[in-house]
Each structure stands twice: as C-alpha cells, then as structure tokens.
Structure 1
C-alpha cells in the first residue's frame, strides 16, 4: 500500500495510530516519541496480522496442562512475537501422571477453551492436531477400521488334488484383529486363471478339485498393520486409522463430533501430520474401488501385484494399483475430513508428503497445504557454522517444498505453511544464524506461514530446562536464546506480511508426470516422502527441468493431471482455478508415461489460446486397462500435430488460438515466446515474487559467499521502487530507472542478507530516499576496556569481568563461564571524530550466538545473524559514545555440565530423549561451545548516495 503525507505533523499524528498495529522496527525512539521518519518507514510495510507472525507447534506432554501455566506461557509467546499455537498432545513426563488429562475429555476441552480465550486476548490464533501423536488413530479405531495390509498366502496343487488345510491366515497376531479372507485365485501353469472365492466354505475349506496340470492358489486376506499411534498422549492410544476407508474416517471423527458439540471451540484449523502409516497397502473395499476406478478386476492379477519381476506388465499393474490408492485417499479421507472441519467452520491443514498418492492433488485437497524442512542445508555464507557431527544426513530440497506451495497457488489458496527447523541441528546447538537461511529457503519455495517445530509446554515449577520434546528445535522460554527470540520473529513477520500479500507471481506451469513415479515394479504402495527424494524425484527429467528453470530465473508452479483438466484459458493465460494467479505457459517435461486424456487436455488448452512447450512427445500411456485403444488414441493425437522448423532447435505448430512448441531446450523455447526470465539470478541472488494491485513484491536473498553491490533488472515497468529491509525494518525509495518494460534497481547485499523490493506502477511520493553505502573508510576497532556483566542464565552467573581483549566465556578466569548458558551484557565507551561521516556501520565480528545493541541509550535493535552488522550513524555523536551489547549464547554448555554432573533432566515416556542420530542423548562428551562476543567490533565510515523520488538513478550524498 502507498501512503502520502502533506507534512511532518501529519506523519507524527499517523505514527501514534500505527504504534499498536505495526511490527516493531529497529528503534529510532527519542524521548519516547516515534520520529516522523520511523512513522513513514512503518507505513511502507503491510499491516501486521496474526497470520503474518510465525506460529508454533505446541507440544502438550501428557496433556498435563492447567489454566495458570497456559496463561503464563501464551503471554510469553506473544511477547516473543509468536502469532499462534498448534496444540499437539503427545506422551508425558514421568512423575507427573496425576496431572495428565485424557484427550477430548471434558477437562481437556476446558483447557482448549482456556487456550483459545487467552490466545484471543493476545491476538493469537489456535490450531490443533486432530488426534494425539501421529498419524491419525486412537481408541475409537476398532480393528475393523484400522490401517490394513494385503496378506497373500500361496498354496500348490497338482491335477486331481484338493486343498486339505483351512484357508486361514497363519499369523496368530492377525487372528487377534479379525483378518478377513477376500479372494481365492487359482493360476494354471498354462495360463488359465480361476476365481475360487465362492468355493470357500464359512469354515475356510476350499471345495475344489484341481483339474489336470500344476496350479498355484493365492488366498488374499484383508489383514492389519497393527501399527499404533506414535507418541500418543493419554486418551489417544490406539490403532492407526485406515485412511483409504470413508467408513473408517467417519468413525474416527465421531468422538470429535461429540466433544465439540457443534462448535469449533475457536480452533482455526485442524491439523494432520505427515503420512507415516507404514505397510498400509490395502483396505476392505479395495477390489471394488479398483474395479470402479480402473475399469477391470484386480483379482486375476494378484500374482503380479506381489511379484518381484521387473516386467512392463507388473509396472503397469502397480501404477494402476497406486493410482487407485491415491484416489481412495483423496475421496475417502480428505473429502470427509474437509467436510467435517468446514461444517464446524474451521479449516484443514495437512502434510501430504509421505503418502502413497499424488502429492499435488492431496496438498490441494485441504485449506492450508503444509510442507516440512527436515535436516539442514548447506549455504556458502562465510562464517556459517555447520558441524558435521551436529547435522542429519538429509538436505531439505526446495523443489520438494514447492509441491505444497504449487498446490496452493494452482487452486487459489493463499496460505502455505511449513513445519520448520525439524532436526536443523543437534539439540541445544542451533543458532539464529543457522535458522535464517533455512527459513529463507522455505520462503523462496513459496511458503508464507511458518510453524516452528516446536515449543513444549512446561509448568513453571519444573526445573530448567523444563519439559522438552525428543526432536529439535527446542525453542522454549528456557532456551538461552529466548530473550532475543522476538528479534528473529520480527524478521519472519516482516517477510510473511509481504509474502501473504497479493498473489503468487509464477509464469510457468510444469506438469508432474506422476505415472513415471507410480510405474515402478518394486514393492507395493509407494510412500512419496521427504526422505525418498533420491528415488522418486531427483533422477527425473521433471526435477532437472524444474531446477534448471528456477536457477535460470524463471518462476514455476507444478501441476497435476487433475489440475490440468480443471484449467481454462483466458486471453492466452492459463487459469487453473477462479482465485488462482494466471500462468503464461505450460511445460510438459520428458516422461515415459502420460495419460492420453492428459495429453489431449494439454492440446485442448493450446487450442483455447495457451502456449504449450513439450520437451518430447509422449509415446506411452500408463496402466493396463484397454491398453491398445488408449495407445492408439495417444498416437492419433501426436500424429495430428504437424510441426515446422522454427530454428534454434525449436519446432512449432499452431493449435487453434494458441501454439505448441517442441524443443529439447525448454529455455530456448521460452525465449522464442518472449517469456523472460528474471536475469537478477545471474548475480547469484535468489528470489520469489508476489503480484499486488499496482505492481510486484520481490523478495531477494543473498546466499552466496560474496557481497553484491550492483544494479539488477526486474521484469516490470515500475514508476518507483521502495526498498524494504526485513532485518531492520528500514525502508526508503530505491535508486531505479525504467526502460523497455524493465526496471533496474541498485541493491547492496552482504552474504546472508535479504531485501524486499516493492516495484509499483505508480509514483511513491514523499518517501524518504534509501541511503546507499559508498566509499568505505578505514574501519576502526572499538577498543578499550569492556565491562562484561552476566544478567540471566545458569547454572550460576559468572563474576563480572573487565576485558581488554574479547574472548569466549568458556575461556574466562571464572570457570563458571564454561558451563554458563544465558546472556551477558558488554559495555564500552569510544570516541567518534568531530567530523562525522554520512553513515557508519557497526560490525560485531564473531558473535556466539545473538546480540542486541544500544548506543548512547538508544536501542539499535537485534543483530542476531550473519553478517552481524547494522547502520548506526543516527545514534552516534561527536566525541564520547557508549556502546552496550547484550549477547545470548546456546544452551549446549549448560546441558553439557548437567550431563557431566549426572543431573537428571530428561525422564519421559516412550522415546524419552535422543540425539540427532536417534541414539541415547549424552552431552557429557561435547566440547564447550564458544560463547559471547568475540569480535573484533569495528566501526566503518561511509559516504552515501540516495535513491531518487523520480525513479531515476540516485544522487550523491555526503
């Protein structure tokens, strides 16, 4: 939004109105009054809503919660900048059993009501997991409705023989859960197949004599996985749900219907975690669903279904089987679950990854698709710590994250959430510097609604470190970084306020050839998950093309067969849903299998006016049913396309109002159609883009090893560009110029920094110009005697120190510093020359791990991640100045001390507590982590140049 002010007096008046509704910025407070500059700066940011702030999963251990602690903790979360909580009941802490509440009991519902009431008073929201632990399951799940698996037992008969043994499952554990015989098929060595199901007596005797020859008999049972809910809370123990059964889903929801009694009790969204239903490859109605959806009977193919042969027939059969499972999951679980939530006037929020289905369709089936980051990524940012012993051997893949955001964009949903920082590092060792680029990668993937994983509810009287979940991140009020958590949350809030504005602005739709994934002869159900990307994602041409397009500067969304069938064309733009953003082109990457109906739809879209780019014409349809007819249809469509040579390796054909291009080089085909990439990526910058009414937002991140100071081109003809710094909250008019429908903007970004550009088609009048840093002078080190005072933490506060040389707390003469986790306050006085420079940059050097800075009593703000720098010229004065730096370190050293002293601090049911490799946790063997301000602290003078109001390139300052 653009604001225009006639005078500084009106700015000051507006500032008072903004004080309670805008996010905090780096302070420019003088005598308690907001300056006109700050008021104008804040007005350039979108208004903050609770969804803009980061939310968190809130572990309720044993449901041992009470109203007093709920009130206290929610107030702390709100103060730290958290916008909402997602209640997740799990196993409990030992010794506190008397406080446990059964899930959905009247007492539990009363605590939910207390949470919603308190959260509402703090302008926070509340979601909840619709179950305990994960996946969905519990005491209401009878064996009949529990997750199922196909059990096949094989028998051999020769001609003239009868089967003497009963047809019953041999596993005694299956008999306990009511296994049911569903089919009996006989396979002759000459190829004959007989259905003998109706020849089995109620007692399990097969009344059939084998004709001449050799026969294999397959008995198919609907068995049970016997999986129980993982990490279940009191009142939540039970079998895992059969997600493929609508009857089972409706039965599962019944206790919620009773407990909620027609109201949602203030729950914004009901949540379902990642699909971790192991071995669940069947359901009672599978034969009937398969016949209805695939058009043929699965029973005669039971032998191939469990075959380990790598044949084309087996691959096609299993593709049909997996597609059926995907559709059953969509219609029998997601549809009734959505209907239940919507009837209660709540939303659904779901992690679809890990499920045996089409991820795009399953993410799109809910109101808020959610992805997750698991493990840590490598970034070449200088000084960024990534200790091999403290990371999991898993790298989050941005393209994996884009499945959730694509589903939201293509179906017109605004919010895309992420379970963020799961096992980013070892317990107690994760810093804001490590968290920042990881969450930036999430933002770049289209996510705009971050959830921490997570915060654990812990009663006030439980000794430090309080109750903790077994998996990191442990961002609780006991965390030594917590006093500066608000600074990190301000960054996320500013970014999300922009990324939730307008609509996603991605020009390319890339089709995901799901049948190539499904047509694998190995195994049964296919778990399409985060940890299996090396199998189902990375080897594919879809992945290589998508990654290449994104790295080249194109913005993409992924689209499924179902989504293409629901799309239309308007003025040459592809419309995937009523509220969805438009896309300029559809790309069909090379694939082995494509449904003839999908290819026909792609050609139809071209006839309606779309541009379709095909890497290679499809040659095969998936599945077994009516195979030859469907092959012929596909061949008829491909042969109907008459291409001419357009040069540069591109073949072209007109199709109705649109055009089809055939090219091995997708990027050359895009250039041929003048669909332009964002060339700013040539600098190494990464970006994501949002379309707003009068322009676009660009969110830029520098994850390279080099500082960038250059002009970058934007694919928009902007009259003005406002620069927004999400780290500090500063804003101003950038130096920019527009020519030939492009705008060039000067940006300055150190490694690890982000910027937001608001490029609008209107002038932005009376906005303070952005000050660029030019001509750095020689940095001067802030030297002298530092006073170091420890202000909070433990196990004991080290003694005050006078330091002439900055050093780690672990190296201080007072040995309490080695085991200390908390905050220390550094103060020093230093001189500034009488002739001040136009700007000064304070560089804290090496910080372990986060800092907050004041100069001359004025708050500069949080400096909590690399490059640990801030502009401070406005706070300095000629002569003597006072610098105060509050530094918070990690929890690691105090936990190490506790384990060395054998102080008991972890005592939980079920998994108790594990390290990053899921081994028993033991910090006693750790080396002390460097802590505090290590510096050197320097001050560098700069001359400046300013962005010009007219949009022409900037003018020189002092």
Structure 2
C-alpha cells in the first residue's frame, strides 16, 4: 500500500473520539472535571419510550420476554401497549382484547418489564378512539339531523315527521359487503377482523327530538312555538297562526364511527364522548376485566386522540345536550333551532353556534376527560391524553390529564401540549414522535433527530416513538409492521445503532425533565372569534395543524417563536388561576413576565375582567391592535355587553412612542398596532442568538441558573460569542450526542457575559449556567491549523449482518455505494464493516477532524476493537485528540443502510410480506401506490448504501482566546 504515513496517522486519530453534531462518543469515556459538571442520572422516564403495537394480540410469553429484553438492550425506557388488527395466518393465535387470556399476557408483560426496569403504559382501547363491542348503540356517538318546512299564515300542516337515516358502510377491507350483509347490532357479527369496519350506519327511521315553529320577522325570528308534543305517532297536524313560519325538526341519529384499526375483541362502536354515562359504562368493562389481576406496575393509561370526525359527517350530538346547554348558557336551545342550523340573522346564528360549541367543549372536558382521569386516579395511576382533533378547547383538555401528549410537525402547534403542562405545573409533556416521517423504509436517524429536536424546542420532554410493532421471533423478515410508522423494530437494518441514538435522547431529556419551565410570555389562546364563525360544519375541531394556526394566536406565536421570545399559550379557564407576583405572573407555580392578547373582536367578559384585575395588581397586559369589541354568545347578552362597556371605560390610553399605554392600578395595559412596537413596551427581551440562526428553549434550575437547549438550525457551522437573555457568571457545555462536557469560555459583552459556541449544522448542545464563577476543564474548542488532507487507501468491506443473504467481501480503493458491486449487493439491507490498517506516524496535532463525506445511512467507528463514535447525519465527521494514535492501528467503520433495498427486492420477486388485516399497507407517497391501491416498492431503483466518501482529514489545534 503506497499511502502517506502521516495521512494514515491522522486518519486513526480522527476516528478515536467523536465530538460533533450527529456523532456519538463512547459511553465509557470519562473526563475528570474540577467543577460540578455531571450528566444528570438517567431515569426510566428520561429514556425514550415506544408505542408497542400488538397485532391481533397474538403474543406469547416467550416472545414478550425476548422482545422486552431486546428493547432494554437498545436503550428504551418503556413501552405503551396498543392492541391492533391481526396478521393473516396467525388467526389461531388471536387473543381477544381484555379476555382472561389477554389479561394473563398483560400481567406477564408487567412482571417482565418490572424485572428489566422498563415502564409500561396501556391504551384504553384496542385501536382508537375509545370503543368496543360492549358499547351499545345508546352509548355510541351520535349525530344531529334536521328537516325544515316553510309555512304561510293560516296554512295547515299534516306532515309525517319521521326522518329516514340512510345506510352507510365504509371499511378498510378488500371485502365489499353491503349493509344488508351486516348484522345489527355490530357486535353480533362474527370474524370482525376481515371487515375492518370504519363506519357503519344502519337504515333507520328516526323520530324528532324537538320540533319548533319559528315566526319570521324583520330582524330574524320574532316568536317560537314548541310543537314537539303535537307530534303524535310521528304525525304533525298544525295550522300556522298569522305570519310566515319556519318549522324545524331536529333528530338524533347514530353516527356509526367504529373503533379504528381495532384488534380482535376490540371492534365495535365508538363511545359518545359527551356522555358521562357512556364513559362510566365503557370504563366499567375494564374494571370487570381487571378484577383479580395484579396491575400495580402499570403506570399510565393512554388515549390516541379524539379522531371521531375523520369519518362521514360529524359526531355533534348527545342526548343530554339540551339540558347541558341551558345549564351553561342560561337559555333553551330549542328556542333557537333555526340559528343552530344556520338560518336567520347572522349575528344570532354566530352567537348560538358559539354557545353550542362551548357546550360541547365543556362536555368533552367534564364528562369524558375528567371522568377518565378520576377513574385512573382511583387506581393510583394517571393518564396520557392526545387532546388534539377534539371539537373543544384543547388546552383545557390537555390540562385535565396527567401527561399532555402532542404529535405532528408544525412547530407552533407542537407547543400546545407543553403550554398546558407549563401553566398548570405538570412535569411531563409527551409526544407521539417521528410518525411515518418519510415513505416506508426510507427514514433514517438523521430525520428522526431533526423531528425530536423540534419537539424538545417546543417543550416536549418525554418522547414516544411511533413506533415498534410486536413481532414473533420466528416471523419472516421484515416481521410484523404497522402502516403509519417509522419502523423502530429489530428487523430494521438501522437497529444496529439504535442504542447509541437512544443515549442521545436520554441525555437531552435528563435536562429537559430537570428544573421547571422558564418562559416569559403568557399568550392568550382566544377561540371566541373562531367559534363564532359559521364555517363548514357545526362543530370545529382542532387537529394538529390547526390548534394555533386556526386562531389569531397563530400570527403572534409565529412572530415570537421566530424572533427569540419564549412563551406559553393559556386558555380562558387557565387564566382564572393566574396570580400576580410583583409585576410578574404566576401560573402553575411557574413565573412569567407579561401576558399578550392577540387581535380579536370577541372575548368572554370574565376574561377581560381577569386581565384587568391582573393589571390592577401590577402586571403589564399587552393587546395587539385593539381591545375586544364585544362578548361572544347569546345568554344574558345585554347585561354582559353593558358590563364590558363599563370595564373598557376604565381604560384610558395615552400615546407613547408608537403605542398606547393605560395605567391601571399598580400595572398597565399596552396597545399597539404591530408586534415589534408592542414588545418594545413589554418587560421581556428576546434571545439574540436567533439572529445567528440558533434556536433554544430554557429551563430554570432548582439551584439557580438555567439549562439551555440550543440547536443550530442553519446550514453552516457557527463559531461565535453568544449572549444569553438570562444573566450568568459561568457556564458549561454538554454535548448530548458525544457525552462530552466542559466549561465554556466566557467574556464580558455589551449586555453582560457571553459564551463561545462552536456548533455545527443540526447540532444540539446543552448549556448550563451558574450564578457564581466556577472553573474547570474547558469544553474542547478546536480551530483549523492546516490544510485538509484527502484520505485514500485499501479498504476491505465485509458484510456482517442483514439480508436477504450476506454478500461476499469486497476489497476496494474506491469508496462508492455497495449497490454498484453487483447484483447480489443491490438487494442487501444491513451492516457492512469497512476496515483499514494505519501505520505509525509521529505527527501529532491537538486533534484531527475526520470528514466521512457522504454516508448511507449511519456509521459507527471502532479503533483497535474499541468503540469510538457514531454519525447519524451530515456533516458526518469526528474530532479526535491527537494523542490517541498507537501505531499499526485497525480502523473499522460499520455502516448500516436503509431497509428499502431489501423491501424492493421482495416486491420485485413477488414475495408477499404485506400480511395484515385492516389497512394492508398504505403508501405515504402517490408514486408508491400499486395497482391494488396499496404501497409497493417494486419500481424503486437500488438506493445508495454504505460509505461513499470522500474522506478527508484536517489538523486542529485548541482555540486560543
């Protein structure tokens, strides 16, 4: 081999230690510090957990034991059991949900998990939403139907008032049954797995629950007559008095939503989420099933979002709605049926719709979420709840559970669950994480890292992967899989590096779960305007991309987030518990500096009263563009309007530098046209690092000082002095990917101390600040001290793990995709070892930076058999201290690729691996939809795999300050 020995020496040094973004250092390596620099002890909850799907609940004790041991070894902290649909060919192994056999498997799982130190949560349904075969039609979700008839003065009506409920049947099965083939009730049907019902609505004749005659006037409807009792045997006989009348008949129908992706024994009706009787009956079935079993180790129950309205029509009614409406709003909804269905004066329609939507929100909060939480609490457990998707104020729903859980990708909306947790003093915020990031089998850990970093910056601190499907030990590759997932399973060729990635997650969350939130602004989440718009449906649900974007908070939240201001959203109900502390605010035991109200026209009277009370007690309350113009809703309208007018009369503004300021008691109310001018008058400052392309979230330490999670969101490395909004005397840097830490270099800047950061693209660091001056070993700062040196040599590539078979070894001097080595390499998904021997060299800079160039997809580096570090995303590089070279060193780079090439080979050869009931197997991208409407990879070209290079070395010296 004719290679420069200096180059080879440099290469060896670089591989010895990883200290950059996307690269993980050895867990065994320790650096002695003179200061108090220690990684927090990692607990079970700090590690990542995963959603653990049980296909058909076809589990055995042997396979449960083996799976949990593998998960433990991979660095997971716990599992959430969610039973779902079964697998073709495993029917004899199906176990009905909550049956004695199923409970035996659950109890065994809890014992094994406890032995291994893994946590366990349980979904309160087989699939989602809550429902099952024990949910009768009277307790199932309902919808509202109506008929109208215009009648003139003196006109006689003899009308059949029955309403025919049209049949509806949708499934996710290849079978196409008609409604006549389906027995009623739904629980009477056999072999429910083969149907994969989504929505079943039987033909049915409905009688009206309310009939009114409404007299038309110049300003809407001037008179209402209740005709309900005049309907005899379904027939209405009535003669209209003088005037023009609109008859409205309201009906309660069966919505027909079925439990989605349900497993055996879990198929059936979805419950009426607005009914206390429905949730009590539903949970009572669990009580019966649990009796006699030891579930003491179970931690939380889980709800996989509302998701009732992803069907035909909306579930928008409940039998008790009339009574609940009158109790909450002080008037009878039956007197305003035309407005409810969109007829009449626009203002009246909007006010009645607001009251109706608010009523449904309160029912979902009080009759479902709080009842479920109380049930779990009675067992000494808690609940994790995905509130999004609900036709309700999701902040209130999140706040009513022990652990709010979010999902999705839009940063603004991701903050909703964390906001509710922060303003109510909850410790944990969980997330359904990395859900189906890319097309099947094309997601790598770099994409997962980016997704998780976004969640942490939004305030999440307890991630659940989405997810891991239980798969028997003897299942043919790729095993059992869930369709809407990034496949965190042992069959995934990237599993080789999963434990390293999970150490990164655990280190991040060890800080994110410490201390308490430290955000400055309470951002008012007003939904009165949104709920007072007619819209396309009677109920307005907040899905993951609509929670904040659908309301005026979105504009303010976007500005604050992009410009470095820290904030939490707060609802009307949560605002009632806020207290003043000097000029600041307390919510859930956490401190805030001000409250900001986005532009809106309507605001509940109680909210304005509370905001003014906070100002009078010393707070600064900020309004964007205008004070509220009016109150929402119809009940007691004149009195509420007058009270708001009186309150606003107490606010007297004075022009001050582009804004308006109104002193009020010990505090003030500030009004401005734009966010920039408004925030100039606020007692808050932005984090200036956002101007560099950095983003952060901070937490207040119990002992004083702060933890900052800082991410470089740009495409270039940043080496610069960085100011922090919070004052500090000294600071330390922790690299969660490598495990390295050290004290930061500090200088006095224009507005206080600054610390020096070297942070590469996509890199995430933790900074800990201290109020006192502490000294110790510096964090390793390096600067380039010479020219980059290209690396070339003789490599031996050995395929060590994966399939469909292990290709032959390949000697090469040219690094390229291993798919170019021949046919047998194109289908291979797994791990290959790249090996080279390096001779002795006396050259010894402080460190060498090894750039691996392009890697498909992750690379773990070993020197003389010892693990050095792992790279997950670009830039794939490692910084290695120069004193680690020993001579004649063996360097091994283990590279794992995606599952994609092996899956494509199966599809090209017609090998059937899609073996699932229900959805089987949906594509994410249209170009991957086959003739059967499902996912296929048969048209994929081999995807680049392995170590592609080019590889180079760059000498480094310690940065001088």
TM-score (norm 1): 0.90
**Contact 1:144–1:178, Cα closer than 8 Å, also in 2:** no
| SS in structure 2 of the partner of residue 771 of structure 1 | coil
In the alignment, which of 791, 797, 800 is matched to residue 809 of structure 2? Answer: 800
Q: Determine the structure 2 residue equivalent to 1:546.
A: 557
Structure 2 counterparts to residues 333-352 of structure 1, below 5 A: 333-352=368-387
Q: Determine the structure 1 residue equivalent to 2:570.
A: 559
**Contact 1:371–1:419, Cα closer than 8 Å, also in 2:** yes
Q: Determine the structure 2 residue equivalent to 1:951.
A: none
Distance of 1:604 and 1:218 partners within structure 2: 44
The reply to whether residue 295 of structure 1 matches residue 295 of structure 2 is no
In the alignment, which of 44, 47, 58 is matched to residue 50 of structure 1? Answer: 44
Q: Determine the structure 1 residue equivalent to 2:14.
A: none
The reply to whether residue 200 of structure 1 matches residue 230 of structure 2 is yes
Distance of 1:178 and 1:148 partners within structure 2: 15
**Contact 2:162–2:205, Cα closer than 8 Å, also in 1:** no
User: Higher relative contact order at CA 8 Å, sep ≥6: structure 1 or structure 2?
Assistant: 2
Offset at residue 27 of structure 1 (A): 2.2
Structure 2 counterparts to residues 567-582 of structure 1, below 5 A: 567-577=578-588, 580-582=589-591
Structure 1 residues 177 and 260: alpha-carbon distance in aligned structure 2, compared to 1, 3 A threshold: farther
Structure 2 counterparts to residues 351-366 of structure 1, below 5 A: 351-366=386-401
In the alignment, which of 298, 303, 308 is matched to residue 267 of structure 1? Answer: 298
Distance of 1:178 and 1:45 partners within structure 2: 66
Offset at residue 737 of structure 1 (A): 3.2
In the alignment, which of 473, 481, 492 is matched to residue 486 of structure 2? Answer: 473
Offset at residue 931 of structure 1 (A): 0.4
Offset at residue 156 of structure 1 (A): 4.4
Structure 1 residues 172 and 538: alpha-carbon distance in aligned structure 2, compared to 1, 3 A threshold: closer
Distance of 1:71 and 1:699 partners within structure 2: 36
Q: Determine the structure 1 residue equivalent to 2:281.
A: 251
Distance of 1:179 and 1:895 partners within structure 2: 51
Q: Deviations over 1:890-931 (max 9, x none)?
A: 000000000000001112111111110484111001121100
Structure 2 counterparts to residues 331-730 of structure 1, below 5 A: 331-373=366-408, 396-530=409-543, 533=546, 537-538=548-549, 540-577=551-588, 580-615=589-624, 616-647=626-657, 649-693=658-702, 694-730=704-740
Greater Cα offset, 429-438 or 712-721: 712-721
**Contact 1:508–1:583, Cα closer than 8 Å, also in 2:** yes
TM-score (norm 2): 0.89
Offset at residue 421 of structure 1 (A): 1.3
Q: Determine the structure 1 residue equivalent to 2:173.
A: none
Offset at residue 410 of structure 1 (A): 0.3
Gaps of 5+ in 1: 1-23, 374-395, 946-954
Distance of 1:238 and 1:825 partners within structure 2: 51
Distance of 2:24 and 2:852 partners within structure 1: 20
Structure 1 residues 731 and 442: alpha-carbon distance in aligned structure 2, compared to 1, 3 A threshold: same
| SS in structure 2 of the partner of residue 217 of structure 1 | strand
Q: Determine the structure 2 residue equivalent to 1:827.
A: 835
Offset at residue 640 of structure 1 (A): 1.1
Structure 1 residues 25 and 842: alpha-carbon distance in aligned structure 2, compared to 1, 3 A threshold: closer
Q: Determine the structure 2 residue equivalent to 1:885.
A: 893
**Contact 1:162–1:208, Cα closer than 8 Å, also in 2:** yes
| SS in structure 2 of the partner of residue 116 of structure 1 | helix
Distance of 1:194 and 1:540 partners within structure 2: 34
In the alignment, which of 254, 266, 278 is matched to residue 236 of structure 1? Answer: 266
Distance of 1:39 and 1:28 partners within structure 2: 16
Greater Cα offset, 253-262 or 121-130: 253-262
Distance of 1:28 and 1:404 partners within structure 2: 33
Q: Determine the structure 1 residue equivalent to 2:116.
A: 122
Offset at residue 215 of structure 1 (A): 3.3
Greater Cα offset, 651-660 or 76-85: 651-660
| SS in structure 2 of the partner of residue 370 of structure 1 | strand
Distance of 1:230 and 1:134 partners within structure 2: 5
| SS in structure 2 of the partner of residue 628 of structure 1 | helix
Offset at residue 537 of structure 1 (A): 4.2
Q: Determine the structure 2 residue equivalent to 1:314.
A: 349
Q: Determine the structure 1 residue equivalent to 2:911.
A: 903
Q: Determine the structure 1 residue equivalent to 2:138.
A: 144
Offset at residue 632 of structure 1 (A): 2.2
Greater Cα offset, 930-939 or 181-190: 181-190
Distance of 1:719 and 1:554 partners within structure 2: 22
**Contact 1:143–1:177, Cα closer than 8 Å, also in 2:** no
Distance of 2:867 and 2:951 partners within structure 1: 17
Offset at residue 833 of structure 1 (A): 4.1
| SS in structure 2 of the partner of residue 545 of structure 1 | helix
Offset at residue 43 of structure 1 (A): 5.8
Structure 1 residues 763 and 261: alpha-carbon distance in aligned structure 2, compared to 1, 3 A threshold: farther
Gaps of 5+ in 2: 1-22, 168-200
Greater Cα offset, 42-51 or 54-63: 42-51
Structure 1 residues 488 and 25: alpha-carbon distance in aligned structure 2, compared to 1, 3 A threshold: closer
**Contact 2:616–2:665, Cα closer than 8 Å, also in 1:** yes
Q: Deviations over 1:758-815 (max 9, x none)?
A: 01113445x3221211134222223111100000100111110001000101111x32
Distance of 2:43 and 2:918 partners within structure 1: 38
Distance of 1:130 and 1:179 partners within structure 2: 32
Structure 1 residues 847 and 175: alpha-carbon distance in aligned structure 2, compared to 1, 3 A threshold: closer
Offset at residue 704 of structure 1 (A): 0.5
Q: Deviations over 1:676-729 (max 9, x none)?
A: 111111111010001002210010111101110000001223222111001111
**Contact 1:487–1:864, Cα closer than 8 Å, also in 2:** no
| SS in structure 1 of the partner of residue 160 of structure 2 | coil
Q: Deviations over 1:98-131 (max 9, x none)?
A: 1111111111111111111111122110001101
Structure 1 residues 298 and 889: alpha-carbon distance in aligned structure 2, compared to 1, 3 A threshold: same
Offset at residue 855 of structure 1 (A): 1.9
Distance of 1:264 and 1:203 partners within structure 2: 52
Q: Determine the structure 2 residue equivalent to 1:80.
A: 74
Offset at residue 397 of structure 1 (A): 1.1
In the alignment, which of 862, 866, 886 is matched to residue 874 of structure 2? Answer: 866
